[in-house]
Amino acid sequence: MKIDITNRHIIKKAHEAGHDIGIHSWSDVDFCTLSEEQITLELKKTSDLIYSIIGVRPRLFRPLHGIIDARVQKIIKKLGYISVTWNVELFEIIRPKKVDTCFSSFTKNIEKSVISSTSFICHQHEFVDITIEMIAKIHTYLNWKGLKHAKVSDCLGVAPYY
């Protein structure tokens, strides 16, 4: 899987709206299976593309499926990236068809997360058909619960870009 470079305007618009832009990988691969040279190339290609769109290089990196081992973590850190994982999964079901089912799962996860910590980072997939509707419901729910919305970089207390 390659990055869809036809959607540059979406990345630019999100950045201009104040959202953090991070890196996943160029080819959607598990970094635990790659050499240091391959990991470096994956991140460089992605960083170069994002830089060409928004003029800054992301520091935030999300590993495939949130899986990262000590070796990869060391490489990521050496390259100047900050590994970001999550403690709440928005979509537990692969490509859910019903927003209400997905939202119910999300609220259960939030209740568990808030009980065990004072904050959470939510992993959201880009399933456009329901993500937009879900985000609206999530914002309403979080406001109702008195929870604050924040960018990943703010949650982690780090600068998101070089």
Query: Average pLDDT over the chain, rounded to whole?
Result: 82
Is residue 106 included in any domain, yes or no?
yes
pLDDT at 56 > cutoff 90? yes
| Res 1: pLDDT | 40
Task: Say if 65 falls within a structural domain.
Answer: yes
User: Which tens digits make up the pLDDT trace of 29-47?
Assistant: 999 999 999 999 999 999 9
- 23: domain CATH number is 3.20.20.370
The reply to whether 12 and 78 lie within a common domain is yes
In a domain, 154, yes or no: no
- Same domain membership, residue 99 and residue 62: no
Q: How confident is the model over 64-76, as pLDDT tens digits?
A: 888 899 999 999 9
Residues 118 and 139 in one domain: yes
For residue 88, give both structure tokens.
């709440």
Domain that residue 75 falls in: 5-85
Beta carbons of 27 and 1 less than 8 angstroms apart: yes
Percent of the chain at pLDDT > 90 equals 37
**Are residues 41 and 99 located together in one domain of the fold?**
no
Mention every residue, 6+ apart, whose C-beta is less than 8 A from residue 6: none
Residue count (the chain): 162
